[in-house]
Amino acid sequence: MNKYLIVIAALLFLTSCKEKPYSRNPAKAKLETPQLNLAQANKLAALPFKCVDQEYPNKMGHVTADPFDQKRPLEQHPAFYGCFDWHSAVHGTWSAVTLLKQFPNLEQRDSLIAKLQNNLRYENIQVEIAYLHTEQNQTFERTYGWAWLLKLQQELDTWKTPVGTELSLNLQPLTDLIVQRYIEYLPKLNYAIRVGEHSNTAFGMVFAWDYAVHAKNSKLKNVIAARAKEFYQNDEDCPLTWEPSGYDFLSPCLEELDIMRRVLAPKAFHKWATAFLPGLKQGIINLEIGLVSDRTDGKLVHIDGLNLSRAWVLYGLVAQYPEEYGMLTELADAHVTNTLPNLVADDYEGGHWLGSFAIYALQNAARVPKDL
């Protein structure tokens, strides 16, 4: 197996922390909030460069209609066939676009752009749309893959280059279909899905909300706001001590916090958050950094992703309300700096997706005010 995951080692510049449960100690020097630089971005870019067109191994998630309904990944999903599964191919593509946007002088820029232009051709997107119209696969990747697709569209829309415009226009018809699927699906969902994996309802709505705001799509915003409030408005004392479950890469409690900070007005949110996670404003929440026993196990390594997704939620909260929740920055920093070194591995189990989680966590870290 290629050792391309060693590229994450560049992030060791950010920390030399060993993996251990985090406990706040005021006597210790405060951790620095990690930030990406060009050298690290060059290393991280090798992950999508490697996987966006790596067809195998592949987990298809396909419902077979008849004995002849079997195709290779490249034929079934010509836009998103790499990175082990469809949703990872989507957010691997998002990673590439994000790094290209933030670092125009990326070493592999031209080659990476060529791969994106090949995968996101108009005709390939049309094949993806046709697949989602097949009778057995209309709910394919609901809502985790849907959410990342909208995040990718948002990233392309704001990449103000000829390439960004080209790829944005190519992808838009698929995005429009996903938006319509959200609008049709959410009102029919009677109960929130409160798990730490792909089907988590709050996560599925967070990225969709961000896209709706970006695209000025009031219909999508209204549907998300209504469902989020109905699902979560009366929640109190979220049981953080129940987390994590063994395969979590999302925190059910923090994902709920992430959507509610978006849909509630400030005063209403602070009141709700105080009841939902008492001690939040004081930076007192029972949240130990998750430990992974075997990073060659594709499910157990989810916990590394959990640490990174927890961090991006906390950074996002601090960025929006620094005066009220600034103390949480240290907890987010600890989750990131204890996890990034663990992404160094000689396997494919984490690398096909964890790079995206690291990039998004660091993207949110960059939004935190520097004077906290």
Query: How many domains does the chain contain in total?
Result: 1
Which of 12-16, 62-66, 208-212, 328-332 shows the lowest mean pLDDT across its residues?
Answer: 12-16
**Contact criterion met (CB below 8 Å) for 167 and 113:** no
pLDDT digits (tens, 9 = 90+) for 277-286: 999 999 889 8
Confidence of residue 352 (pLDDT cuts 50, 70, 90): confident
Domain of residue 298 covers 1-24+288-372
Looking at the domain assignment, is residue 298 inside a domain? yes
Average pLDDT over residues 33-59: 91
pLDDT tens digits along 66-103: 999 999 999 999 999 999 999 999 999 999 999 999 99
Residue 305, in any domain of the structure: yes
Q: Is residue 205 part of a domain?
A: no
| pLDDT level of residue 347 (50, 70, 90 thresholds) | low
On whether the CB atoms of residues 55 and 85 are closer than 8 A, the answer is: no
Q: Which residue has the higher pLDDT, 16 or 42?
A: 42
Amino acid at 30: K
pLDDT cut 70: percent of the chain above it: 90
Predicted local distance difference test score (pLDDT) of residue 296:
86
As given in the structure block, the two tokens for residue 292 are 């992974």
Between 60 and 10, the more confident residue is 60
172 part of a folded domain: no
Q: Map the chain to HEC letters.
A: CCCHHHHHHHHHHHCCCCCCCCCCCCCCCCCCCCCCCHHHHHHHCHHHHHHCCCCCCCCCCCCCCCCCCCCCHHHHCCCCCCCCCHHHHHHHHHHHHHHHHHCCCCCCHHHHHHHHHHHCCHHHHHHHHHHHCCHHHCCCCCCHHHHHHHHHHHHHHCCCCHHHHHHHHHHHHHHHHHHHHHHHHHHHCCCCCCCCCCCCHHHHHHHHHHHHHHHCCHHHHHHHHHHHHHHHCCCCCCCHHHCCCCCCCCCHHHHHHHHHHHHCCHHHHHHHHHHHCCCCCCCCCCCCCCCCCCCCCCCCCHHHHHHHHHHHHHHHHHHHCHHHHHHHHHHHHHHHHHHHHHHCCCCCCCHHHHHHHHHHHHHHHCCCCCCC
Better-scored residue on pLDDT, 319 or 15: 319
Residue 254 placed within a domain = no
Q: Which of 37-51, 111-125, 200-214, 240-254 has the lowest mean pLDDT?
A: 37-51
HSE (side-chain half, CA atoms, 13 Å) at 289: 24
Gap between the Cα atoms of 370 and 368, Å rounded: 6
> Count of CB atoms within 10 A of residue 216's CB?
8
Is 309 a domain residue? yes
For residues 231 and 193, the answer to whether their CB atoms sit within 8 Å is no
pTM for this predicted structure? 0.92
Whether residue 4 is contained in a domain is answered as: yes
The pLDDT value recorded for residue 295 is 87
Please check the confidence at residue 236 and state whether its pLDDT lies above 90: yes
| pLDDT tops 60 at residue 2 | no
pLDDT tens, residue by residue, 239-251: 999 999 999 999 9
pLDDT at 31 over 80: no
If pLDDT is split at 50, 70 and 90, which confidence band does 15 have?
A: very low
